[in-house]
């Protein structure tokens, strides 16, 4: 049975674009590579042909996986989310109680997480620890190198 994945509009668009690219650009390229390798002679001793067939197999597996993910993807309706608590798609400003550093993160689905842009997964230790908290509350989060204590300073939505 497949797992339902939740996406923002941006994340779902990226998923569709990748799937379209693989189908419309990479699939024909893989077929052309196989045809080119086939033209080079005896298939039983043609390493280039074997490599092209294997690359095509990997591509088809990736396409099948993305099609499955896409068919089970659900768009998150931000209008029904409570802004008083930390939920998926919340922009959360937190303060580390140990060193006083303030950070701002957006909680997103695991498939859209990107720490460079401040997007953390709701399934990460920090994401799990922040879920359901309100402004003024403290979150004690166990991470691999100890326990971190954060204060929730602000919760917003874009």
Would you say the pTM of this structure is higher than 0.75? Answer: no
Q: What is the pLDDT of residue 79?
A: 66
For residues 2 and 71, is the Cβ–Cβ distance under 8 A?
yes
146-156 sheet: strands from edge to edge = 119-121, 102-108, 91-96, 146-156, 138-143
Q: What is the pLDDT of residue 81?
A: 66
Helix %, strand %, coil % of the chain (to 5): 45, 25, 30
Confidence grade of residue 74 (pLDDT, cut at 50, 70, 90): confident
Pair of tokens at residue 3: 């797992």
Q: Is 49 helix (H, G, I), strand (E, B) or coil?
A: helix
**Topology given in CATH for the domain delimited by 85-156:** Chitinase A; domain 3 (3.10.50)
**Topology given in CATH for the domain delimited by 5-75:** Helix Hairpins (1.10.287)
Q: What is the pLDDT of residues 57-68, one digit of tens each?
A: 999 999 999 898
Q: Residue ranges of the domains in the chain?
A: 5-75, 85-156
The alpha-carbon radius of gyration of the chain (Å, integer) is 22
């Amino acid at each position: 049975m497949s797992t339902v994945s939740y996406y923002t509009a941006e994340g779902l668009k990226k998923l569709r674009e990748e799937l379209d690219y693989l189908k419309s650009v990479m699939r024909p390229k893989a077929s052309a590579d196989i045809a080119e390798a086939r033209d080079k002679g005896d298939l039983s001793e043609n390493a280039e042909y074997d490599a092209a067939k294997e690359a095509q197999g990997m591509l088809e597996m990736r396409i099948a996986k993305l099609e499955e993910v896409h068919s089970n993807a659900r768009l998150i309706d931000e209008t029904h989310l409570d802004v008083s608590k930390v939920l998926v798609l919340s922009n959360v400003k937190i303060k580390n109680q140990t060193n006083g550093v303030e950070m701002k993160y957006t909680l997103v689905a695991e498939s859209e997480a990107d720490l460079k842009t401040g997007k953390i997964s709701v399934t990460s230790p920090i994401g799990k620890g922040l879920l359901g908290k309100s402004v003024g509350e403290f979150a004690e989060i166990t991470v691999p190198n100890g326990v971190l204590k954060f204060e929730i300073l602000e919760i917003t939505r874009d």
